[in-house]
Amino acid sequence: MSTFKAPKGTYDLLPPGSATYLAVREAIAAPLRRSGYGYVETPGFESVELFARGVGESTDIVTKEMYTLTTKGGDELALRPEGTASVLRAALEANLHRAGNLPVKLWYSGSYYRYERPQKGRYRHFSQVGAEAVGTEDPTLDAELIVLACDAYRSLGLTGFRLLLNSLGDRTCRPVYRAALQDFLRGLDLDEDTRARIDINPLRVLDDKRESVQRQLAGAPMMRDHLCAECKAFHEEVRALLTEAGVPFEDDPRLVRGLDYYTRTTFEFVHDGLGAQSAIGGGGRYDGLSEMIGGPALPSVGWALGVDRTVLALEAEGVELELAPATELFAVPLGDEARRALFRLVTELRREGVAADLAYGGKGMKNAMKSADRSGARFALLLGDRDLAEGVAQLKDLASGEQQALPLDRVVAEVRAELR
């Protein structure tokens, strides 16, 4: 046993369970790749200022949860707590928005870090797949991304998730709502830290999960009652497009999510089987974020879906994914010459797309066959000195026990035919 353990609030992904995480990532990415989204990968750390400006200095993410460090050169860096600000920074730095083909559609996958109190479904290191459509103000994009997320969940077999939808308005109508909300909140019995948020970002108070706060918010003014005509029309179009696509949703006028950059469309996917940590993904439109981090006006929309949370949702529903076998054929050599011959065959099988493995370390027949059974392979390919002399190998069906001799030059073709 190692002297060291994974840091508190983190986890290791190991076989065979890691195969489920890979399958979830692939299922989320698949509809994005079919819809014109290209892959982007950004560093695991960025300038602290990028997140302070983009995510918001008043958010818990920036004030309490970021892992920060100072380099030997004096730069202040942070492990990325979310993906959108990094992806937008990368797109701006590479001038992707100047290519004349807007929107720029990007998807990404990776690990993110927040210093939180560890609990099931809430870790200090977590995995997400995200998507961003940069540079176009069009409700069709908002609806497209929501539909793609729903399709990804459905492709995994999830049925118990719900979509919550809201609009947070824009720079025209939100100031009026902000003032009305501030007046309301100043009349409540709130602690000092929460009262400080009233002046910085009062919408964050609506996101407070404490029951003592939520009780007092019963009569709070709603953004939907303050939307300007443009924002109202934009939101109604998103709702109509979702309905047309057969995506059910629930209007949630208090949905603000935890980031400051959202405008207009805001949405969240929740799964009631996960208890308090019910959110499995979400996102929204962030039309002003580019300007916040020093770029031009680039209206954009995106989402991030939690891989960890999605796996927990699958477990809550009892869904078992149909995973491709890690090993389809397990080769068992008996003798050095047989080992060399089987190594050549296994290599050729792998090149032909067959998942094949080999008994290593000179194991005897009994131990090698135990390894074959544990591998989950459908077939074992046995080769000994007598077989080699006769130019054949023994192909054994590990489920039925049936065994047949195959000419060595026909093994690859026959195995492929049997498996496909």
The answer to whether residues 287 and 260 touch, using CB atoms and an 8 Å cutoff, is no
Identify which of 15, 231, 36 has the alpha carbon closest to the alpha carbon of residue 141: 36
Q: Does residue 189 form part of some domain?
A: no
Mean pLDDT score, 243-255: 94
Same domain, 48 and 169: yes
Where is the binding site, in residues?
82-84, 114, 128, 132, 257, 261-262
pLDDT of res. 58: 62
The structure tokens listed for 181 are 């909300």
Same domain, 334 and 411: yes
Q: pLDDT tens, 154-171?
A: 999 999 999 999 999 998
Same domain, 240 and 363: no
Which CATH number is 353's domain given?
Answer: 3.40.50.800
What distances in angstroms separate CA 283 from CA 100, 136, 145, one per listed residue?
Answer: 26, 16, 9
Q: Does residue 10 form part of some domain?
A: no
What's the full length of the chain, in residues? 420
Mean pLDDT score, 167-191: 89
Give the separation between CA 375 and CA 326, rounded to whole angstroms: 8
Show the DSSP H helices in 334-404 as ranges.
Answer: 336-351, 365-375, 385-390
Give the separation between CA 256 and CA 267, rounded to whole angstroms: 8
pLDDT of res. 61: 77
Domain count for the chain, please give it: 2
Q: pLDDT tens, 343-390?
A: 999 999 999 999 999 999 878 888 989 998 999 999 999 999 899 999
Is 70 exceeded by the pLDDT of residue 258?
Answer: no
Q: In 3-state terms, the chain is what percent helix, strand and coil (to 5)?
A: 40, 20, 35
pLDDT of res. 257: 74
Same domain, 372 and 276: no
DSSP labels for 297-320? ---EEEEEEEHHHHHHHHHHHT--
What does R_g of the chain's alpha carbons equal in angstroms?
27
Same domain, 267 and 404: no
Where is the binding site for L-histidine, in residues?
82-84, 114, 128, 132, 257, 261-262
pLDDT of res. 409: 93
The answer to whether residues 261 and 286 touch, using CB atoms and an 8 Å cutoff, is yes
Q: pLDDT tens, 23-69?
A: 999 999 999 999 999 999 999 999 999 988 877 766 777 878 899 99
pLDDT of res. 73: 94
3-state secondary structure of 45: strand
Mean pLDDT score, 249-253: 94
Q: Does residue 67 form part of some domain?
A: yes
Which of the listed ranges 9-13, 55-59, 142-146, 387-391 does the model predict with the highest average pLDDT? 142-146
Is 80 exceeded by the pLDDT of residue 134?
Answer: yes
Q: pLDDT tens, 91-101?
A: 999 999 998 78
Q: Which domain holds residue 44?
A: 18-173+227-317
The answer to whether residues 367 and 375 touch, using CB atoms and an 8 Å cutoff, is no
What distances in angstroms separate CA 201 from CA 79, 136, 209, 266, 287, one per listed residue?
Answer: 24, 26, 16, 17, 17
The structure tokens listed for 140 are 């069709």
Same domain, 233 and 303: yes
pLDDT of res. 117: 85
Q: Does residue 93 form part of some domain?
A: yes
Same domain, 313 and 275: yes
Which CATH number is 69's domain given?
Answer: 3.30.930.10
Same domain, 240 and 376: no
Give the separation between CA 41 and CA 51, rounded to whole angstroms: 17
Give the separation between CA 367 and CA 359, rounded to whole angstroms: 9
